[in-house]
Amino acid sequence: MKHFSQDISLVLGGAAGQGIQTVEALLVQVLKREGYNVFSSKEYMSRIRGGSNSTEIRITNKKCASFVERIDFLFALDKEAIPHLEKRIGTKTVLLGEREKTCGLSEKCQVIDVPFTRFANELGNPIYTSTVAVGVALGILQADERVFEKYLQEHFARKGDEVVAKNIEAGKKGYAFGKHVAYNEGIEVTIAKNKTVEEEILLDGNDALGLGVLASGCNYISSYPMSPGTGLLTFLAKHKKEFGIVIDQAEDEISAINHSIGAWYAGSRAIVTTSGGGFDLMTEGVSLSGMIETPIVVHIGQRPGPATGLPTRTEQADLNLVLYAGHGEFPRAIFVPGTHEEAFLVAQQAFHIADKYQIPVFILTDQYFLDSIRSFPEKDLQILEPKNHITKTKADYKRYALTSDGISPRGVPGYGEGLVGVDSDEHDEQAHITESADMRVAMHKKRLGKIGAIREEAFLPTEIGDVKHADTVIVSWGSNRGVLEEALEIVGNKSIAGLHFHQVYPLPEKAKKLLTKKKVVVLENNAGGQFANLLKLEYGIEITENILKYDGDPFFVEEVVIRLKSLM
CATH assignment of the domain containing 136 = 3.40.920.10
263 belongs to a structural domain? yes
CATH of the domain at 313: 3.40.50.970
Contact 342, 502 (CB under 8 A): yes
Distance in angstroms (rounded) separating the CA atoms of residues 167 and 149: 9
CB neighbours of 124 closer than 8 A, spacing ≥ 6?
166
CB neighbours of 308 closer than 8 A, spacing ≥ 6?
277
179 belongs to a structural domain? yes
Same structural domain, 229 and 82 = no
Query: pLDDT tens-digit profile of 32-90?
Result: 999 999 999 999 888 777 788 999 999 999 999 999 999 999 999 888 888 999 999 99
Same structural domain, 428 and 553 = no
156 belongs to a structural domain? yes
Contact 236, 248 (CB under 8 A): no
385 belongs to a structural domain? no
319 belongs to a structural domain? yes
Same structural domain, 20 and 164 = yes
Q: Which of 424, 457, 490 is the last residue of a domain?
A: 457
Same structural domain, 528 and 559 = yes
pLDDT for res 213: 98
Q: What is the dihedral of CA 305, 308, 310, 315, to 10 degrees?
A: 30
* Global confidence as pTM: 0.96
Q: Which of 143, 175, 199 is the last residue of a domain?
A: 199
Distance in angstroms (rounded) separating the CA atoms of residues 298 and 260: 10
Pairing of strands 50-60, 37-43: antiparallel
Buried b (16+ CB within 10 A) or exposed e, 494-510: eebbbbbbbbbbbbbee
DSSP letters spanning 228-245: TTHHHHHHHHHTHHHHT-
Distance in angstroms (rounded) separating the CA atoms of residues 408 and 420: 12
Same structural domain, 175 and 250 = no
262 belongs to a structural domain? yes
Buried b (16+ CB within 10 A) or exposed e, 225-245: bbbbbbbbbebbeeeeeeeeb
Distance in angstroms (rounded) separating the CA atoms of residues 149 and 137: 14
Same structural domain, 292 and 407 = no
Q: Which of 321, 349, 380 is the last residue of a domain?
A: 380
Q: Is the peptide bond before 228 cis (omega within 30 degrees of 0)?
A: yes
CATH of the domain at 511: 3.40.50.920
Same structural domain, 341 and 482 = no
Contact 326, 290 (CB under 8 A): yes
Same structural domain, 137 and 269 = no
Same structural domain, 220 and 188 = no
286 belongs to a structural domain? yes
Show the domain range for 412.
390-457
Helix (H) or strand (E) run with residue 258 in it: helix 253-265
Q: Residue 129, SS3? A: helix
Same structural domain, 243 and 277 = yes
Can you state the angle between helices 557-566 and 481-491, rounded to 10 degrees? 50
Q: Residue 359, SS3? A: coil
Triad 185, 187, 189: Cα angle to 5°? 165
Contact 189, 141 (CB under 8 A): yes
Per-residue pLDDT of the chain (568 residues; tens, 9 = 90+): 789 999 999 999 988 877 888 899 999 999 999 999 999 999 988 877 778 899 999 999 999 999 999 999 999 988 888 899 999 999 999 999 998 777 667 678 899 999 988 998 899 988 899 999 999 999 999 999 999 999 999 999 999 999 999 999 999 999 999 999 999 999 999 999 999 999 999 999 999 999 999 999 999 999 999 999 999 999 999 999 999 999 999 999 999 999 999 999 999 999 999 999 999 999 999 999 999 999 999 999 999 999 999 999 999 999 999 999 999 999 999 999 999 999 999 999 999 999 999 999 999 999 999 999 999 999 999 999 888 899 999 999 999 999 999 999 999 999 999 999 999 999 999 999 999 999 999 999 999 999 999 999 999 999 999 999 999 999 999 999 999 999 999 999 999 999 999 999 999 999 999 999 999 999 999 999 999 999 999 999 999 999 999 999 999 999 999 999 999 8
150 belongs to a structural domain? yes
Distance in angstroms (rounded) separating the CA atoms of residues 548 and 551: 10
Same structural domain, 19 and 154 = yes
Domain count of the chain? 4
Same structural domain, 171 and 24 = yes
Distance in angstroms (rounded) separating the CA atoms of residues 521 and 197: 34
Q: What is the dihedral of CA 527, 530, 536, 538, to 10 degrees?
A: 180
Amino acid identity of 173?
K
